[in-house]
Amino acid sequence: MSIKVAKYTFGSWLRKGIGGRIITVDNLGSGAASGALRSDVKIEVNVNDHPQPKIFQLLGPGDIIGINPAMVVRTEPLNWISNFEPNYLPFIEFYDEDFLWRYTPANANGDKLRPWLSLIVLKEGEQPGTGEFTFNEKKLPLPSVTVKSAHTLPPANQVWAWSHVHVNEGHDSTTEFEAFLKTLTDLDNENSDKIIGRLMCPRKLESNTAYRAFLIPTFETGRLSGLGLDNSVIDAQQASWNGSSNNIEFPVYYHWFFKTGDNQDFESLVKILEPRIMDSRLGIRDMDGSSPGFGLTEGTD
């Protein structure tokens, strides 16, 4: 009997359209100034057979003051789940596979590109004001969260690593995967439901602890815009936080609450086991591993 093994393909980022022609390369949160207040693209137009090169500026994080909640197709854990396994990473998924990088004001640096959104997870206090944050749901134009300590935020220069695209089918080569991605721009494309964008929070969770997850802007222009502040002189690639950003306020595009349960995952249970000296009569029978199945490579010995 043949067993069909599920296969998946992952990509570190994905872009559609003119965003792939942005001139400036992502500094990946290094702190270096890009020298640009917006992302630029160079377009050449022929007028009476004479090429006319022009530089156009694209919309960026500083132009966004909210997202459509319908863009979110899944959160893990779900809102108000009370027994999330603490060894897992919280994440949020978007139907538009390119959404996480759509407004990033830079081009990829090799195979790395920061998403314009970040996911943070903060401890909820048992009493108001005792948690790691203060949440203002009534602030305009967006709700806001004030993070008390910078150590609860992920390193700004690692943001690029916590987002990816997930395809629900396998591709055996880079060429095959690229051909699949090109079909996503077609109208009525049958492959559009096979791929999503996912954003994770790298925080290590504690057991039996209440948390709230917040979707916030990665870039400073987006942070200021979401708070209703001027961002006209801010470098387009400036990260919205750094290692000393204590008591910093962020606009919130999306949020949800959850609580972790006990450490009852496989790793935790295995650590409880106590080793014993094995009886000499055990483990003496040969086993044939030449045809393991489940997509595993056939053994040679």
In a domain, 2, yes or no: no
Above 80 in pLDDT, residue 251? yes
* Mean pLDDT score across all residues of the chain: 89
Summarised one tens digit per residue, pLDDT across range 16-72 is: 888 888 989 999 998 878 778 888 898 888 888 888 888 888 999 999 999 999 999
Alpha-carbon distance of 160 to 33, in angstroms, equals: 18
What's the whole-model pTM score? 0.85
In a domain, 108, yes or no: yes
Strands (E), the chain: 9-11, 40-47, 50-57, 72-76, 81-84, 91-94, 117-123, 133-136, 144-147, 163-167, 195-200, 210-217, 248-251, 254-260
**Once rounded to an integer, what is the mean pLDDT over residues 182-204?**
80
Above 80 in pLDDT, residue 262? yes
Between 234 and 193, the higher pLDDT residue:
234
Above 70 in pLDDT, residue 187? no
In a domain, 66, yes or no: yes
In a domain, 177, yes or no: yes
Q: Based on the structure, what is the number of domains in the chain?
A: 1
pLDDT of residue 1: 46
State whether the Cα torsion 76-80-85-89 is positive or negative: positive
In a domain, 16, yes or no: yes
Q: Apex CA 96: angle with CA 86 and CA 65, to 5°?
A: 85
Alpha-carbon distance of 163 to 6, in angstroms, equals: 22
What confidence tier does 190 reach under pLDDT thresholds 50, 70, 90? low
Q: What domain range includes position 157? A: 9-268
Between 128 and 87, the higher pLDDT residue:
87
In a domain, 300, yes or no: no
**How far from chain centre, in Å, is Cα 243?**
20
In a domain, 3, yes or no: no
**Once rounded to an integer, what is the mean pLDDT over residues 271-298?**
80
